Amino acid sequence: MFDRLDPRGLLAKPWVYKTFRGLVTTKAGRAGLVEDYLRPRPGDSVLDIGCGTADVLDDLPDVEYYGFDSSEEYIDLARARHGNRGTFVNASVSRDTVTGKFDLVMALGVLHHLNDGDAAELFALASSALKPTGRLVTLDPLFHDGQAAHRRFVVSLDRGGHIRILNEYIELAQRSFQEIESHTRTDLLRIPYTHLILECSP
Ligand SMILES: C[S@@+](CC[C@H](N)C(=O)[O-])C[C@H]1O[C@@H](n2cnc3c(N)ncnc32)[C@H](O)[C@@H]1O
The residues near 106 (Cβ < 8 Å, ≥ 6 apart) are: 38, 46, 47, 48, 49, 56, 136, 137, 138, 139
- The domain that holds 68 is classified in CATH as 3.40.50.150
Question: What is residue 5's predicted lDDT score, i.e. its pLDDT?
Answer: 61
Express as a percent the part of the chain with pLDDT over 90.
86
Domain presence at residue 1: no
What's the number of domains the chain is made of? 1
Domain presence at residue 64: yes
Question: What is residue 194's predicted lDDT score, i.e. its pLDDT?
Answer: 98
- Per-residue model confidence as pLDDT tens digits over 74-94: 999 999 999 999 999 999 999
Identify each DSSP E strand in 61-189 by its residue range: 64-69, 86-90, 102-108, 130-143, 164-165, 179-185
User: Where does ligand 1 bind, in terms of residues with CB under 6 Å?
Assistant: 21, 50-52, 55-56, 69-71, 74, 92-93, 108-110, 113-114, 118
Cβ atoms of residues 51 and 68 within 8 Å: yes
Please tell me the pTM assigned to this model.
0.94
Query: What range defines the domain where residue 46 resides?
Result: 7-201
Rounded CA-CA distance 83/46 in Å is 16
- Per-residue model confidence as pLDDT tens digits over 43-68: 999 999 999 999 999 999 999 999 99
Domain presence at residue 67: yes
Domain presence at residue 2: no
